Every structure is written in C-alpha cells, then in structure tokens.
Amino acid sequence: MSIDLEWIKLDATLASYLVDVLNRQLRNAERPSFIGPVEVTSLEFGTTAPDVELVDLRDIYRDFLEDDDDDSDRGPVKVTEGANDEDGFEWVSRRAPAKPEPPPNPYPNLQLHLHINWHSNLRITLTTSLLINYPSPMFMSLPIKLSITGIVFNGELAVAYEGQRKRIHICILDDLDPYGPAGDRPKRDSTIATPPEPDEDSPPTGTPSRPSKPLPIGQRLLPSIYIESEIGQADKHVLKNVTRVERFIQDVIRKTVEEELVFPNFHTLVMGDP
C-alpha cells in the first residue's frame, strides 16, 4: 500500500537537528591527512518526496522496549546494624511491594515497516580544507566547499509507536540480517550484490561461477550520492570536482547512516502531551 507524504511540511527545526547529528559524526570521523575538519553548514530537503510503501504491520519489536523492571527479582541484601559486630546484621528482602494494576492503555503499541525508494534533490552544504603537508605538516591550507546535490536511497524503515509512553522508535533494516525485526519475512528481490571478480584462470564456459558477494549495507542503502566540490577562494582560481575529497564525504555519509540508524541502532522521539 502506497503512502503519500506532505513533504513541504519538513521545517528548518528538523533540518537544524540533522545538521547537528551530522556534525557530531564528522567530528569523530577519521580523516585522511590531507583533509581538515569538516562542518555541515546547511541542509535543504528539496522538493522530491520519497516513494513510500507499507509492507508490514506488526507488534512492536522487543528491542525497542526498555527494561522497566525494578529490583523485585533481585535477592535479599545484607544490612549491617553495628560496624564492629560481625554478627550484628539481618537479611532484608529487596522485593518491592506489589503495585496496583496499571489502567488500560488507550494507545496501542504497533510497528510499521515502510519500503522507501527516494531519488532526492536535497542539498547539503559542507566546508572543509585541503591540507598541504609538504615540506612540513599543514604547510598550506586551501578552503573546500562541498555541496551534496542528491541522494538515492533504497531500503526498509521500521517505525515503532510505543503508545503508553508516547515514544516513536525509528531505524533502518538490513535485508540480509536474519535476526532483525524483519528476519522472519520473505526477502525482497532487490538485493544488490557485487559481480564475481574476474579471474585470469577463469573456468570454462558452463562451469558454475563463485557466488557474488553482497555490498556493504551503506552502499546498498545509498547506492548513489551526488557531490559537487570547489577548492580555492571564490574570488580567485577555483578547482572543481575533486574526486578524492568527494569519495571521503560519501564514505562518511554511508558510515553515519549505518552507525546511527541501521538496526540494532535506532533513534527515539519522545512525543509531548497534546
């Protein structure tokens, strides 16, 4: 079932939050010696909304629920009455008194699985510098401006609504993870894999070839990231489209998505009272 999104309602507050998330990841990312600190300066969502399809509706996955158990299952604790009297103690149970039954939850717990195909025209602007480390470290620094002008995303998103505590948990699922929230469901036929590596001593025609190796999860989710780069000052000579710098930023974006959102990692939004 397809779902229509009101894409124009994405506002500057969400854009600012995503900029902060990206900058935290960039500060901790390992950089090549020729790249200075990287900072995201702006983010625009663009006008192209993703194609969203509801593929599953189920109970909320157990990993999204926090363990709210108290100390009722723990054993007794030793409480000493006299500091110098080894026998002056008693065993006091830590079992908490029985709690009254909670009222019925008017808000159900449910989990949506959405397949998203997004050929976006969003725009993210970053700044960094190209470091010249010869004849000495940081001998010269050239400013770099990078603009991500589009991203292709193809993957499954899990949105879990925890009604009683008014929380929404969001993560991206790996189709190849057999233990994830969608591990018990038949896989889609869109898994991307690398072709078999060519071999000089290739077997004759008709001999079964080696099975292909799946791409990393970051490349499967984000097969294309379009970047424009400029090195130098705008009022002077500018060098455009530097491949090594663009490739580094692509790797950081894919790694950020994998470490922040791919299950078992997830983000939780706490909903306020209406």
Ordered per-residue pLDDT tens for the chain, 274 residues: 788 888 888 888 989 998 998 898 888 878 888 888 889 999 999 889 999 999 989 888 888 886 544 444 444 444 444 444 455 544 444 555 566 666 666 778 899 999 999 999 999 998 988 888 878 877 888 888 889 988 999 999 999 998 888 889 999 998 888 777 666 666 665 444 444 444 444 445 555 555 578 888 899 999 999 998 888 776 777 778 778 878 888 898 899 889 888 998 888 888 766 5
For residue 166, tell me if it sits in a domain.
yes
Residue 204 in any domain: the answer is no
- Give the contacts of 202 (CB within 8 A, at least 6 positions apart): none
**Computed over its alpha carbons, how large is the radius of gyration of the chain?**
26
Nearest Cα residue to 252 out of 50, 32, 45: 32
Residue 82 lies in a domain: no
Domain range for 181: 2-62+106-186+215-270
The domain tally of the chain equals 1
149, 241 in Cβ contact below 8 A?
no
Residue 99 domain-assigned (yes or no): no
In a domain, 70, yes or no: no
pTM recorded for the entire structure: 0.65
Cβ 173 vs Cβ 156: under 8 Å: yes
Residue at 11 is within a domain: yes
Identify whether 100 is part of a domain: no
Domain membership of residue 57 (yes or no) is: yes
